[in-house]
Amino acid sequence: MSHHLVQAENLEYAYPDGTRAIDCINFIITHGESLGIAGANGSGKSTLLLLLNGCLTPTSGMVRIGDFPLTVKNVHDVRKRVGTVFQDPDDQLFMPRVYDDVAFGPLNMGLEQDEVDKRVEAALKMVDASDIKFRPPYRLSGGQKKAAAIATVLSMTPDILLLDEPSSGLDPRSRRQLINWLKTFQHTKIIATHDLDLIKDVCGRTIIISKGKVAFDGPTHKAFSDERLLEENHLEKPLSMIAHAPCHSS
């Protein structure tokens, strides 16, 4: 079984009031890909991630992880392979110490304490956060909280990482550090964000979503070089791709 393959097949999702958030989306993400999902507010990015990790059940269509469809029966097993980092770290940090948060998943997998300790150490080291292991989460900075939240997922050793607005609320230094971490991770990565510069730096492929539909699926450089495509989907070209006029002293 290829745990790394992620497929959306005629995927649709409607809210209870009938509003269609995801409208017949199809794609396949293969082992080792880094995929950016871009779109304006309300386009369906976060809803799509929740469908991919089984937090939401499609109205129709299906999600496949590896060779099998994601169902209520196998969602627990799938989540061992698919790790999700939510937009707000406080949604993932709820224990007295960072160590306890990072150890929570491995402990619930029934692992021995020695193995749990090894996973905690390894996960925190991957995000340069070993020094906050015994600190309470509420006393951390925004960047430290983000690092701890990512570590809680890494300790589960997933094959696939889903990240929702990972750079949200970070200062420039913490954001750059996050990008550097993401570049080193060997996981298959699916990143939903407004931060197009982050997508440009990390993801070779981009899907642009508009009103729940795929408006573009292809190379990131092609998407972000198409000013008409960006304008039609209420997106701005990444700042790093905008040529600034030189400053002249008066």
pLDDT digits (tens, 9 = 90+) for 41-87: 999 999 999 999 999 999 999 999 988 899 988 888 888 889 999 99
Rounded to an integer, the average pLDDT of 88-100 is 95
Give φ, ψ of 19 to 5 degrees: -65, 125
Tens digits of residue pLDDT in 220-238: 999 999 999 999 999 999 9
Q: Are 219 and 204 in contact (CB under 8 A)?
A: yes
Residue 9's CB is within 10 A of a number of other CB atoms, namely 15
One-letter amino acid at 15 equals: Y
Q: Assign 228 to helix, strand or coil.
A: helix
Average pLDDT taken over every residue of the chain = 92
- 0.85 cut: is pTM over it? yes
What is the pLDDT confidence band of residue 1, given thresholds at 50, 70 and 90?
A: very low
For residue 212, pLDDT beyond 50: yes
CATH 1.10.510.10 fits 6-241, yes or no: no
